[in-house]
Structure 1
Amino acid sequence: MTSARPPSAPVPPGSAGASAASLARARRRASAARFWRRYREQRAGLFGLAGLALVALLALGAPLLVGADVQSVTDAPGTALQAPSAEFPLGTDQFGRPLLGLLVWGARISLTVGLLAAALSVAIGALAGILAGHYGGWFATVVMRITDWFLVMPALVLAIVLATVMSRSVWTVILAIGVTSWPTTARLVRAQTIAVESRPYIERARALGGGHGHVMTRHVLPNVLPLVLAQTTLGISTAILTEATLAFLGLGDPTVVSWGGMLQDAREAGAVSSGHWWYLAPPGLAIAFVALAFTLCGRAIETVLNPKLGVSR
């Protein structure tokens, strides 16, 4: 005689998908918490992050802190090339505009150009690297030869050429920097893609019917994202320096205020020969500070994501 079993409770439709989604969210939260815990151990990275947070807050609050009229040449509150004083802590430019206000307002353009140009550069490099590493053969050969050509040619010279032949605007500078600085990322991502696709679970995914798109998006991309993230952070500082160089050469947008444009204005005003150090020092130090902060953050992220780079404690 067999005992009757109680009927099992029906599984509500969609519960399996919901539990899988909640498990994925829990794993992402745990991964983010683990990343932040390891990042806090990097003192240099914390210093860079704090500096970037301060500059970002100043850039976002520029309309409230200094107002948009600080860029006006006709309504300048001071006289030309005043030395630092209580009224103008950093002095004035050749038009009588306060350099402190211009420095705060210029952070918006410099950070925007750096972020967007680095994102464009890394996106192009990551796409080229993943495709070349995945497909291989003649396609990889063509992509790598193009990459080598861009590596041989100086990126700054190519950016100057593009900025010269195109209209002078912020978007031209972003495009010029983005399309000339991607080869390093492409080579790194290609090497990482080849290493990932040599692992056994990639063969199992293909045996189960996974196509090219599934392998690249579900398996390769998540494994190269840490490298892409670190490369993006490091590339922002390079993009900011390149934007400052283009603006200093007079190839930036003359209608906006940026740190490189301030240096170019100081050169035109003869600040170097006349000894007006307060015109040159603030934008130069701001560029160096932000570039250093992004570099420190990038190195810290790279150390956290790659345990081999960490120093044993």
Structure 2
Amino acid sequence: MLRRLLSQKKSVWGFSILLLFIVMAIVGPFFTQDPKAFLGTPLQPPGGEYLLGTTGQGQDVWAQMIVGARHSLFSALAIGAATTLIGVLLGLAGAFWGGVADEGISLFTNIFLVIPGLPLAIVVAAYLPSGQITIALVLIATGWAWNARVFRAQALSLRQRDFVSASIVGGESSLRLMFFEILPNMAPLLLSTFLGAVIYALGAQVGLEFLGLGDISAITWGTNLYWASNDAALMTESWWTFIPTGLCIALVGFSLALLNFAIDEIADPRLQVQKVWRRRVGRSDPGLTPVVRTAV
């Protein structure tokens, strides 16, 4: 699967962009100024001493963007991993054990699916003490349900396969069946779900912090946008206080989406066949009408 991913342009571009931001988040803060220090004239345009200018409080925008990447990226990865793990455990448990356990897990999952996740996260975060840990716990609590439903459906399908029946007859334990027989066959779905959860976590985390529900004294991409809005960046045309951070968020989401599309093509052979067929048809007869191309 990794070899097939590395052979696709989508995954190579997505992984390259994501790796660039991860390296920036790890190494970058050691080579920047203190992002909280009041160094220059407020709302100083980019150029000269400050590469991306200064904020409304005279802080270095470049330093805040680099340091904010560390907190926002690693929080999103941790939240995505936690929601995926909870979804896997509950989905596998419900599908494999069945009966009362499956009904109880399904009922619990349906309750969270009925309630809109992001509005619930906003309400809960507003009443809890502000901070990154609070936002992480809120997003984990509101983001696992869909993952559990998807993994349960896939596990139910795999449980009917012959190799699982043979393992049951062979006397393998339930945990070994779930984690060594069923879970490895869900690797593409697992990775795709994790990437989708990271995208959700990054967007929701930035959104909650932008609304002022996080720790506004911390340096994150969300708080950078919060302070830019608080300083009336649009009214003063101080584009450099929010566009660099917004562009970073968009690029990270774009890289994760590219990786997700590449995994979907690998997991679903029909998408790969359609892609190759369209390429061949386009080369053989450039004069095909759009209707024919769409039908193909």
| Deviation sequence 1:171-222 (CA, Å, 0-9, x none) | 1111111111112211111111111110122222222222322221221122
CA distance in 1, matches of 2:137, 2:271: 33
Question: Is this contact kept in 2: 1:185–1:231, CA < 8 A?
Answer: yes
What is the match of residue 59 of structure 2? 97
Question: Within the alignment, does 1:113 sit opposite 2:70 as a pair?
Answer: no
CA distance in 1, matches of 2:41, 2:48: 14
In the superposition, the TM-score normalised over structure 2's length comes to 0.88
CA distance in 2, matches of 1:302, 1:171: 32
| Deviation sequence 1:138-185 (CA, Å, 0-9, x none) | 322222222222122111122223322332221111111111111221
Deviation of 1:305 after TM superposition, in Å, equals 3.7
Q: Which residue of 44, 60, 84 maps to 1:122?
A: 84
Letter in 1 for 2:5: Y
Query: Aligned to 1:272, what secondary structure does the other structure show?
Result: coil
Q: Which residue of 266, 271, 295 maps to 1:304?
A: 266
Root-mean-square deviation over aligned CA pairs = 1.6
Q: Which residue of 191, 195, 216 maps to 1:229?
A: 191
What is the match of residue 51 of structure 1? 17
Question: Is this contact kept in 1: 2:210–2:226, CA < 8 A?
Answer: yes
Question: Is this contact kept in 2: 1:185–1:228, CA < 8 A?
Answer: no
Letter in 2 for 1:164: A
In the superposition, the TM-score normalised over structure 1's length comes to 0.83
Q: Which residue of 189, 198, 203 maps to 1:241?
A: 203
Single out whichever of 161-170 and 198-207 deviates more from structure 2: 161-170
CA distance in 2, matches of 1:136, 1:231: 23
Question: Is this contact kept in 2: 1:62–1:105, CA < 8 A?
Answer: yes
Q: How many residues align?
A: 275
Deviation of 1:127 after TM superposition, in Å, equals 0.9
Question: Is this contact kept in 1: 2:192–2:263, CA < 8 A?
Answer: yes
| Deviation sequence 1:225-247 (CA, Å, 0-9, x none) | 33111110121111101010010
CA distance in 1, matches of 2:101, 2:243: 49
Deviation of 1:70 after TM superposition, in Å, equals 2.3
Gaps of 5+ in 2: 277-296
Gaps of 5+ in 1: 1-34
Q: Which residue of 96, 100, 107 maps to 1:138?
A: 100
Q: Which residue of 140, 143, 146 maps to 1:181?
A: 143
Identity %: 32
Letter in 1 for 2:17: G
Letter in 2 for 1:180: T
What is the match of residue 157 of structure 1? 119
Deviation of 1:47 after TM superposition, in Å, equals 1.2
What is the match of residue 255 of structure 1? 217
What is the match of residue 38 of structure 1? 4
| Deviation sequence 1:89-132 (CA, Å, 0-9, x none) | 22110111111111111100110111011011101111111011
What is the match of residue 282 of structure 1? 244
